[in-house]
Structure 1
Amino acid sequence: MLSEAHGGVLYVDEVNLLPAHLGDSLLDAASSGVNLVEREGFSASHAAEFVLLGSMNPEEGTLRPQLLDRFALAVDIVASLDPIERQIVVEQRIAFERDPIRFHSDWSQMEEQFRNQVVRARKLLADIECSKDILAQISAAVCEKGVRSLRADLAAVRASIAYAALAGDASVQPHHVAAILPLVLAHRAHDRGRSPAPRHQPQTQKASSDSPSQTPDEPLDSTNGLERIFAPREVETFAIRASFEDTVKRGISTSAQALQPGPVVSARRTETPVELDLRATLNHVVLETGSAQPRVSDLHERVRNPSSGTRYLFVIDSSGSHAAQERMRLVKGAASTLLTRSFKNGDEVAVIVFRSTSAQVVLEPTRVLHEAITAFEYLPTGGRTPLAHALDLTQSYLTRTTILILLTDGRANVSLGAGDPWHEALEIASRIRTPALVIDTESSNQRLGRPRELAEVLSAQYVCLDDLALNDSIDFVLQQLPFTNCPN
């Protein structure tokens, strides 16, 4: 495949689901321009210079940051919500299905214009000037986003030069850089909810005068007028063990694997192979006997990596009520320890925080444990409790192997519509069917008991924050909760 792609474009759909060892080889070839193949006494190399394009659905997991950084540009693609644009798309799709040849003919002139424009740009590329002022603009923008990889600077410079050539300009101008930078930084710079204040000196900031007033459900000392960052306090917790069903029902009498088997990474010799590796078996018998007639002692089986890990989805109440008695320190410490003790290779974590008037995703699904721990550490605290919005946002991040960990005191006081905030939260929670753990973060002297009610609606395990260390382990069994919230 890499040999055939030489001199052209290689497009990989669902690139985030590509086995890690294949992804490494693919990106090495893309960066070096040479593909080296060595296995079973065979060695060869060939030129492999191509443009690499990849697409993925972030809800299914992302690439490792080291690999994601190797892609120069990234763009989010979403379907339009403009009825007129959608109608045009559907009409063109139908026209293509009815007469592909005519459709191609109708658009061939425009494609030819684009083709000629690219050819001219390639001829101009070597003569495009990029001044030191432009380089300074690019470096400043990258540093401002906290991106350490120099690939970002190089990608921005190269893409800006290419854009200038495509536009027919003689030099790179600021508007070229402005158009390119979002594509360079989109997958490299992420808002982790961090504060610019030093770690040893949390920043306290007064809320604006138009901030929502305190509600009866919030304690007087909840410091709703303040936004603060509390350092985590270490909390000993149990480890979460995930146990997911292997099959899903199809119709009445048939079943299928809920998870695809993992990639084959090697083969091992065994007289009782579970999954026969025919190639390795034949190689062994030929090398040993010179014959193609295998013996029991020549049998090899395929060795696979685990197909996919668990997604730990943390939904954390960061409202002002957790500032009372610095309760947020325990919340952060519990979340960090739960994840550290439960996380394994292949797992991923995402973090949703709700405070003020809305919920937000502070950490998109990632397999880097350190990113999650850092996100917990810098979560700001203050404002009201939009629990309904957090649960609504949660639904779009559920997969078949998601464990939901919800930390809240249940004092919902912001609704999505015109209804009662608490009843609205319960109604949304009733639609979430995934293994879940609700951690009750209420202070012992101010309990309303809402987190326990929420756990019952979610069919979730319930535990009080103050009792976390008293538990040894919790098992989650997926078959008890029919999955209904898988993203399209």
Structure 2
Amino acid sequence: MTTPFPFTAVVGQDDLRLALLLNAVSPAVGGVLVRGEKGTAKSTAVRALAALLPSVDVVAGCRFSCDPAAPDPDCPDGPHEPGASVSRPARMVELPVGASEDRLVGALDIERALSEGVKAFEPGLLADAHRGILYVDEVNLLHDHLVDLLLDAAAMGASYVEREGVSVRHAARFLLVGTMNPEEGELRPQLLDRFGLTVEVAASREPGQRVEVVRRRLAYDDDPAGFAARWAEEEAAVRARIVAARELLPHVRLGDGALRQIAATCAAFEVDGMRADIVMARTATALAAWAGRTDVLAEDVRQAALLALPHRRRRNPFDAPGLDEDKLDETLEEFGGPEDEDPDPDPDGPGGGGGQPPSDGPADGPPEESGSGGGAARPEAGQGGEPQPSGAGEQSAVRAAEPFRTKVLSVPGVGEGAAGRRSRARTERGRTTGARRPKGALGKLHLAATVRAAAPHQRARGRSGPGLVIRRDDLRQAVKEGREGNLVLFVVDASGSMAARQRMSAVKGAVLSLLLDAYQRRDKVGLVTFRGTAAEVALPPTSSVDAAAGRLEALPTGGRTPLAAGLLRAHEVLRVEKLRDPARRALLVVVTDGRATGGPEPVALAGRAARLFAAEGVASVVVDCESGPVRLGLAGRLAGELGGTAVTLDELRADSLAGLVKDVQGTSRRAA
């Protein structure tokens, strides 16, 4: 077994280490979500924490790690008689991104349950993680229904497996830790709220600290056991401090003054529901116990707010997380009471070691950016002077208009892509539409179809009792239909003709609105832009809608309109992405006024490029940006060549009175 990197040897990352330690002291805090760029010791710190947790006593032979002092009365391996117990280290269980539901919650042997009436249950990862750590790397890439299952188990402290009237329940109390890179996509807000604390981590820009990171990592790689031995004393000290804080925790007093500050802070930052108040109270109490105090002070409430509120405050999907610390300090001061007194500083610092001096205060991301409306945080951009005619030079990027709720655009037919909320698909969850023989392990059993398949053979199989004689060939799996996420590839015209009449602000607002819709529907997005003489992939297909919004905001305009180049580049992007992810269907969204200029026969070349998509059956929609009293209808003609449909900016709005076919049908065309 590989020796883990010592927790106390992690350089810096004070907030990350503190959040993990607080959950080790009080698992009721509810876990940690660690957000940050790659290579910032997220996984290293989590794996190192397991070695610091005290050993646990378990009932000998129990697959569900029951506590001998208080065994679970509903344990599938129970009832447990008083007897032998064993002590073992606390486990750290990793949940792979590609795990199935059965691997997470466990699986019932449906064949034995139907034929013998036996609850034959194989425990899953939730059972393995009981009384330990459940670690989910790249939690934002996990299927939504798996995230729902593990967060429900974390909230209830138990896991339930229900299959066709056969149910199993077992305890599942664990420290939940998830890590994610925001560039690869966000978690839904309601799932973010289920994590107790969140921390933002980033690599230090201080050369001295970076040198120390490299020095320690190289020393560990050369001799893991020897490196760990040199940090054994610091590790033992933190382990003892965790035990002492756990013992002190029940004696910590959360006074009325601290409770008023907690309630006022949550109200000031307009967090939804009461979970934030409860998590803050538990975190502040754990902070006091970690500091060796029996009273919660204002500094504990402040630190708890910085860990528990950034992911809960009301914000739009493209806004950066974080708290306005000045506003936080004003709220704490306004509602501070006589109970709040400055304590003696803790000489050991909150991180419990690591060779780094304690920070003056937690850095939990930048203060909230000010701005108008509900879109992404937008950089100031000039308007680039008066609009220039087509073919003019480059203009500065303009700000997007306010986003709006869009009509639903979906891909026709039934796909089999990743779970999402856009187009019809055969999925693991949804309404049952039929049955089929299972391919490999049985998933969701279709009971009626299984009985129908087995019934004609009962006499030949010698059935004598009331139960059915079930064989493997009789089993039928339910075919379910739900929704999938698609690849929405935006092809945006940034030429000079689009800049005329200051249309680009409205166009960017429309694309931003579609990006918001893609975020909510769990799509991947990509961005191709064209202007001047060529097209470029401004953003390869990604799950990070935030990144697409940022690239859109910085998009300049000007020059001719190489429409054919934009379409050909988009075709190449879709071809490559099809090789990477064959099951994910694409939706092409072309945002243009339909003009094509530059080069020989630009209109004919654009038509030939468009017909490539029609021949391959790619669902497409053209957002017609033409304006003015005289309209040429070029976008409608382009939609006809693509085999898709054209909609105006006004028709794109969900509250528009103009009709819009929701499915982008290949045969549906809008004439010029």
Question: Structure 1-normalised TM-score?
Answer: 0.57
Which residue number corresponds to residue 339 of structure 2? none
Q: Report the Cα offset of residue 159 of structure 1.
A: 0.8
Distance 2:490 2:506 in 1: 15
- SS of 1:149's equivalent in the other structure is coil
- SS of 1:38's equivalent in the other structure is strand
Which residue number corresponds to residue 439 of structure 1? 591
Which residue number corresponds to residue 507 of structure 2? 331
Determine which structure has more spread, i.e. the larger CA radius of gyration.
Answer: 2
Superposed counterparts of 1:192-207, under 5 Å: none
| Structure 1 residues 41 and 123: alpha-carbon distance in aligned structure 2, compared to 1, 3 A threshold | same
Residue 37 (structure 1) aligned with residue 161 (structure 2): yes
Question: Deviations 1:61-116 (Å, cap 9, x if unpaired)?
Answer: 33332222111111123344545444443443344344333233222211111111
Which residue number corresponds to residue 522 of structure 2? 347
Which residue number corresponds to residue 132 of structure 2? 8
Residue 28 (structure 1) aligned with residue 28 (structure 2): no
| Structure 1 residues 112 and 18: alpha-carbon distance in aligned structure 2, compared to 1, 3 A threshold | same
Which residue number corresponds to residue 237 of structure 2? 113
Pairing partner for 1:72 from 172, 180, 196: 196
Contact between 2:388 and 2:500, CA under 8 Å: does it hold in 1?
no
Contact between 1:11 and 1:54, CA under 8 Å: does it hold in 2?
yes
Distance 1:464 1:448 in 2: 17
Which residue number corresponds to residue 300 of structure 1? 476
Contact between 1:234 and 1:337, CA under 8 Å: does it hold in 2?
yes
Pairing partner for 2:305 from 165, 181, 187: 181
The amino acid that maps onto 1:310 is N
Q: Which runs of 5+ in 2 are unaligned?
A: 1-124, 320-368, 390-394, 418-425, 528-535, 560-564, 575-587, 614-621, 627-632, 645-672
Residue 309 (structure 1) aligned with residue 485 (structure 2): yes
- SS of 1:55's equivalent in the other structure is strand
Question: Deviations 1:175-232 (Å, cap 9, x if unpaired)?
Answer: 2233232321232233567988899xxxxxxx99xx969647679xxxx9xx999667
| Structure 1 residues 241 and 465: alpha-carbon distance in aligned structure 2, compared to 1, 3 A threshold | farther
| Structure 1 residues 325 and 128: alpha-carbon distance in aligned structure 2, compared to 1, 3 A threshold | farther
Q: Report the Cα offset of residue 139 of structure 1.
A: 3.1
Distance 1:317 1:149 in 2: 43
| Structure 1 residues 162 and 398: alpha-carbon distance in aligned structure 2, compared to 1, 3 A threshold | closer
Residue 57 (structure 1) aligned with residue 181 (structure 2): yes
Contact between 1:331 and 1:441, CA under 8 Å: does it hold in 2?
no
Task: Compare relative contact order (CA 8 Å, sep 6+) and give the higher one, 1 or 2.
Answer: 1
Which residue number corresponds to residue 286 of structure 2? 162
Question: Structure 2-normalised TM-score?
Answer: 0.44
Question: Deviations 1:243-267 (Å, cap 9, x if unpaired)?
Answer: 9x999xxxxxxxxxxxxx9758899
| Structure 1 residues 177 and 410: alpha-carbon distance in aligned structure 2, compared to 1, 3 A threshold | closer
| Structure 1 residues 316 and 124: alpha-carbon distance in aligned structure 2, compared to 1, 3 A threshold | farther
Which residue number corresponds to residue 625 of structure 2? 465
Distance 1:317 1:161 in 2: 55
Residue 139 (structure 1) aligned with residue 263 (structure 2): yes
| Structure 1 residues 19 and 229: alpha-carbon distance in aligned structure 2, compared to 1, 3 A threshold | closer
- SS of 1:6's equivalent in the other structure is coil
Contact between 1:6 and 1:48, CA under 8 Å: does it hold in 2?
yes
Distance 2:225 2:130 in 1: 28
Q: Which runs of 5+ in 1 are unaligned?
A: 200-206, 248-260, 353-390, 414-419, 421-425, 477-488
Q: Report the Cα offset of residue 145 of structure 1.
A: 3.0
Which residue number corresponds to residue 275 of structure 1? 439
Distance 2:430 2:405 in 1: 39
Distance 2:175 2:500 in 1: 55
Distance 1:403 1:305 in 2: 30
Distance 1:308 1:61 in 2: 16
Q: Report the Cα offset of residue 29 of structure 1.
A: 2.0
Structure 1 residues 124-133 or 67-76, which shifts more?
124-133
The amino acid that maps onto 2:522 is D
Which residue number corresponds to residue 295 of structure 2? 171
Distance 2:216 2:228 in 1: 11
Contact between 1:134 and 1:174, CA under 8 Å: does it hold in 2?
yes
Count residues in correspondence.
390
Question: Deviations 1:357-394 (Å, cap 9, x if unpaired)?
Answer: xxxxxxxxxxxxxxxxxxxxxxxxxxxxxxxxxx9984
Distance 1:329 1:116 in 2: 59
| Structure 1 residues 305 and 431: alpha-carbon distance in aligned structure 2, compared to 1, 3 A threshold | closer
Superposed counterparts of 1:187-266, under 5 Å: 187-189=311-313, 190-191=315-316, 215=385, 239=409, 241=411
Distance 1:314 1:2 in 2: 40
Q: Report the Cα offset of residue 171 of structure 1.
A: 2.3
Aligned-residue RMSD, C-alpha: 6.1
Contact between 1:312 and 1:403, CA under 8 Å: does it hold in 2?
no
Q: Report the Cα offset of residue 118 of structure 1.
A: 1.4
Contact between 1:277 and 1:302, CA under 8 Å: does it hold in 2?
no
| Structure 1 residues 305 and 12: alpha-carbon distance in aligned structure 2, compared to 1, 3 A threshold | farther
Distance 2:168 2:540 in 1: 48
